[in-house]
Structure 1
Amino acid sequence: MTFSQRTNWNTEESALARAHRTRVQAGLPVADLTASNPTRCGFSYDVQLLAALTDAKALDYDPQPLGLLHTREAVCKYYADHGVTIPPERVVLTTSTSEAYSFLFKLLCDPGSEIVVPLPGYPLFDFLAVLDDVRVKAVRLVYDHGWQIEPEGFRRALTPETRAIVLVHPNNPTGHFTKTWEAEELAMMCRERGIALIVDEVFLDYAFSAEKAVSFAVGLEGIDLYVVSGLSKIAGLPQMKAAWVVATGPNAGQAMERLEVIADTFLSMNAPVQGAIPNWIAGRKAIQREIGERVKANLAVLDKQLGAIPAVRRLEVEGGWYAVLRIPALQTDEMTVLRLLERGVWVHPGYFFGMDEAGWLVISLLGPVEEFRTGVRVLVDYFRTHQGDNNCLPEVEAQL
């Protein structure tokens, strides 16, 4: 049998995944510093949260391609809370941000078209793009007293085949919020080339300082801009599969007409979740506050313990729930992760997010505080014992 080349992936279990599975199956302790699912991190959800799914109105099948009007109005209310006015006719509901990206790739790209994405970044775009016959070109962020976009790197990546630049605001895993000057530089490129800007804002509400949490939904002059977000992070509900796209810019009307046809082709958003979304958006503040407090507490624990070992540095983070560590590049990150796993700690190697093969670890700040404290203690002890006395730590204030 012949399968599509777009699904010609290597599906063999990686050495890291196999080692982790073996340890868990053996019943050995693992302090998980990769946790990304808030529903499994001990947070207190409203006991009435699921009641919104039982509304009898969900028995009436009303196949609205863009999503039910009152649900889209609830999304608009979310942006109004961020000081941005969005009409509901500029919103289309999707079952996930992954589906939102797929809709946008179908809208903007032909087979062989290109999108430009920053690295480090979450390892998702490659799979989504391949499934829509789109090519991904990566541009590295730079670190110089904080993460930054390098405009010239983006300019060099653009070709006649480029259809969109994709940003994550704040970035995952670096926690970098796109600054005003960076947005203006990218907008200039988009205007010059006639291409779109796609901005993923799922972590927008988890800024460490409120003034940074400015939504791109306000738009940028003269460019077509699409904001992607959803309840996975906004309400800590990844299992509910609820997301959306907001379209702004000079061609937003035409874009929405086409997105409506795309959405109508799939009609994927189910009625009970659509009916519940307004309640979940309205009640998001409690879980956001709890997650925010946990992330800040874990970050404080991390910084305190790292103070005892200068060979490992925590890079600046402005939001989200991850931290990037710069470690001595004396062996591959995969080997470091395996050695830490042997001691009962599970972390991400930097290359998982597109960093180099050595010198980087990424840890989640989402897990329970005591488990996090234990994991960081073991991590610090490992580097103190094995790599703490070396003077070979590369400078981080340089291009990754």
Structure 2
Amino acid sequence: MVGTSLPDAVRKDIGASLAGTDAELAGRYPGEPGTRQPVHTVYVPADAFAADTVRTWGARALAALDEHARDAGALADVLGLPEELAGSVHDRVRAKLTAEPVEDLRIDFEDGYGPRPDAEEDAAALAAARIVAAATAGGTAPPYVGIRMKCMEAAVRDRGIRTLDIFLTGLMEAGGLPDGLVLTLPKVTFPQQVKAMVRLCEEFERARGLGHRRIGFEIQIETTQAILGPDGTATVARLIDAAGGRATGLHYGTFDYSASCGVSAAYQSMDHPVADHAKAVMQVAAAGTGVRLSDGSTNVLPVGPASQVHAAWRLHYGLVRRSLARAYYQGWDMHPGHLPTRYAAVYAFFREGLDAASARLAAYGARAGGVSAVMDEPATAKALSGYLLRGLDCGALDADEVTRLTGLPRAHLNALAGRPSA
């Protein structure tokens, strides 16, 4: 028997007083969605998008790899890969570029497309819908695909709304919205613009008989007002709140945001201090909400002579690795030549940490220090399992090796990471 001093009524009263807080915590911070997150988003101008776009990007990326890093040793020399990783990374990059070169495709009707006659953009939006629908039906679409419409600013608002409507209507008339549909709302400055996007989604769902919140969207963070409001308060959390549970991601816009901060063109980059500040604010605001993060891109293209390609590859590889270390597991790729280094960076990141993460997780499972000599807590076990699951999702790791090293099946990793077992 143990003694207590507080009456049961106190416990019950506290529980009743916090019921509203409990509900708000559950609603606002549901945790990770537990589904695969793409490692990148490929942006293609709407007028350049075609049925063979993904296949063409894969072929061009493979050609670049064969020309400028034909084997594991050459890739290691260019990127500084450890010898013990080079073979596995090179093999996996080649396999990825052959089987699934693009994980997330965004057909761009905004900056990459620009202003066009209405009839021309109408036709491009309908063509995009038909191509996406055919690729989805044929099993050749990327896991995630959608459009970036024009923003909610007055000058282009009507055009953006019409393009969105044509694209979604075209998908519906061709068989329905694909499971991996993603929409991107750019140049957001105020929560009211996000609420307007919510209204569009609601009205479309109602018009087409779709379920509530069937349509979600990403919020692109590329204006200073999206980070700091006119009253001096942080605003990213307000944007997420305004989305009413429809926000799926926050995407950092490297060049628009840098320019809005007055950074000259030569210094606009994903690793500039203004970028780090914005992304840190985004990260804290999104933590626990289920809204995922994506870094931006580099505009240095791997084209030209070998020395120039190699320099661009080293830059891109380093920037992707930097993002991964800062828990930005997704970024933008603007050119087929970026795909080899995107996947090389991602695969090296997960493979080089496989043994240590597995050992720590196995030790945690056994409730012992183990060879890792680190006493991890549940939150760290969640991070370790999440790390391994991300590696599995993108093809950096194999299920058999992870199970062998950790002693845990994927279902157990899902449970530790807070993912649904399915």
The TM-score with structure 1 as length reference comes to 0.30
* Higher normalized helix content (fraction of residues): 2
Q: Which has the larger radius of gyration?
A: 2
Higher relative CO (Cα under 8 Å, sequence separation at least 6) belongs to: 1
* Higher normalized strand content (fraction of residues): 1
